[in-house]
């Protein structure tokens, strides 16, 4: 295993310190925790948005803390849910009277621990609600989840719910916007090379030189099947076809597209994939309103990508276009 680290036990701590030293104008750290929060005083009269999960998905989630997106992100150990007390500290550090919305990816540990934190905050009379993102069309249930997994579509929830909260909407309204995004977002990914978790020291799975894994999860979980590597266009056709088979995207619809790198894929290859995504959607007479291409929710050094579609209406378009300024997402 080759990793640019100082030691296995302090990776997350050093990563968070490095992030804060790089972006002090955006983020700070709650003392004694692995919680990243927006820099400066609490913004009065605002619902706060809190997300997080295991580390190794950078820039998610700390990279999306800032104006127009998250107020706090909680980092667990690599591919391990943060503990309830850490999430609770994030709530206490940011909530300012209008309540907190927890944005949770659908993994068993994340759901359980974030819900426990919400109960802890409720005991202190802090209003907390939650949404659970389950956008992965690849598998219905897995070792990690009951129901579909939450993957890169979560970023659209951060952006759009974050814009609604920045407008000053109340907790029920912000949750309703987040749930609208969740109902209309779908994703699917693949890998051509596995990732290596530092504490394990070896690849999370093995692929032959000419094999790819279709439907992979963001922790190296198995996908739907393995197959011989084909062209980028054929791979896009398979992933996008599964997304379109959901039946919620049709002729005349407007969508936002995300082509998300898994951490080890050159930007050149992501743009090649997006070229085919755009062409297929044009053939289907589905209008692309906005496209994001890059690393948004990764899986350490995994090589591969995912495709996400979000069906838009006028409200979602306006919130998607609203200003945001974070270490990993800037739209001014």
CATH number at residue 24: 3.40.50.10440
| Same domain as 189, residue 135 | no
What predicted TM-score, i.e. pTM, was given to this entire model? Answer: 0.96
In a domain? residue 31: yes
| Same domain as 167, residue 71 | yes
| Same domain as 202, residue 125 | no
| Same domain as 216, residue 169 | no
Residue 186 CB contacts under 8 Å (≥ 6 apart), including other chains: 135, 137, 153, 243, 246, 248, 308, 309
Among residues 79, 307, 302, the alpha carbon closest in space to that of 207 is found at 302
| Same domain as 50, residue 161 | yes
Query: For residue 283, how many other CB atoms are within 10 A of its CB?
Result: 8
Residue 240 has which token pair?
């996008």
Sheet holding 254-261, edge to edge: 225-228, 211-214, 185-193, 303-311, 254-261, 287-294
- Strand duo 48-55 + 100-105: pairing: parallel
In a domain? residue 103: yes
Ranges 9-23, 112-126, 139-153, 197-211: which has the least confidence: 139-153
- Provide the annotated active-site residues: 57, 219
| Same domain as 266, residue 143 | no
Q: What is the mean pLDDT of residues 305-315?
A: 98
CA distance 194 to 235: 17
Domain boundary among 184, 207, 223: 184
Q: What is the CATH number of the domain that holds 309?
A: 3.30.1180.20
| Same domain as 84, residue 47 | yes
Domain boundary among 168, 184, 200: 184
**Residue 250 pLDDT > 90, yes or no?**
yes
Residue 137 has which token pair?
């069309």
In a domain? residue 328: no
Q: What is the mean pLDDT of residues 126-132?
A: 98
DSSP secondary structure letter of residue 104: E
Q: What is the mean pLDDT of the chain?
A: 96
Rg from Cα positions in the chain: 19
Domain that holds residue 40: 8-184
Residues listed for the chain: 332
Distance of CA 114 to the CA centre of its chain: 16
**Residue 146 pLDDT > 90, yes or no?**
no
């Amino acid at each position: 295993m080759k990793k640019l680290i100082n030691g296995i036990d302090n990776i997350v701590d050093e990563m968070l310190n490095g992030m804060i030293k790089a972006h002090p104008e955006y983020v700070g750290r709650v003392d004694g925790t692995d919680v990243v929060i927006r820099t400066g005083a609490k913004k009065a009269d605002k619902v706060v948005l809190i997300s997080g999960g295991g580390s190794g998905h950078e820039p998610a989630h700390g990279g999306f803390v800032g104006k127009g997106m998250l107020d706090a992100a909680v980092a667990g150990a690599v591919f391990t849910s943060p503990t309830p007390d850490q999430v609770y500290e994030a709530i206490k550090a940011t909530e300012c009277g209008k309540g907190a919305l927890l944005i949770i990816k659908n993994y068993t540990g994340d759901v359980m621990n974030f819900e426990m934190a919400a109960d802890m905050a409720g005991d202190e009379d802090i209003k907390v609600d939650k949404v659970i993102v389950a956008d992965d069309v690849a598998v219905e249930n897995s070792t990690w989840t009951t129901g579909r997994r939450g993957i890169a579509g979560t970023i659209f929830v951060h952006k759009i719910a974050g814009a609604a909260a920045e407008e000053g909407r109340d907790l029920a309204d912000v949750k309703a916007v987040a749930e609208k995004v969740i109902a209309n977002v779908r994703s699917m990914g693949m890998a051509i090379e596995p990732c290596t978790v530092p504490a394990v020291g070896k690849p999370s799975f093995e692929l032959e030189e000419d094999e790819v894994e279709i439907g992979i999860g963001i922790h190296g979980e198995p996908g739907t099947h393995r197959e011989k590597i084909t062209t980028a266009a054929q791979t896009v056709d398979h992933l996008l076809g599964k997304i379109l088979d959901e039946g919620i995207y049709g002729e005349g619809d407007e969508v936002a597209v995300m082509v998300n790198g898994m951490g080890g894929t050159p930007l050149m290859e992501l743009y090649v994939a997006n070229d085919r995504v755009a062409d297929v959607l044009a053939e289907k007479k589905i209008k692309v309103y906005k496209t994001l291409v890059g690393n948004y929710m990764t899986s350490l050094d995994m090589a591969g990508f995912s495709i996400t579609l979000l069906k838009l209406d006028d409200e979602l378009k306006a919130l998607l276009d609203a200003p945001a300024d974070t270490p990993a997402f800037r739209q001014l």
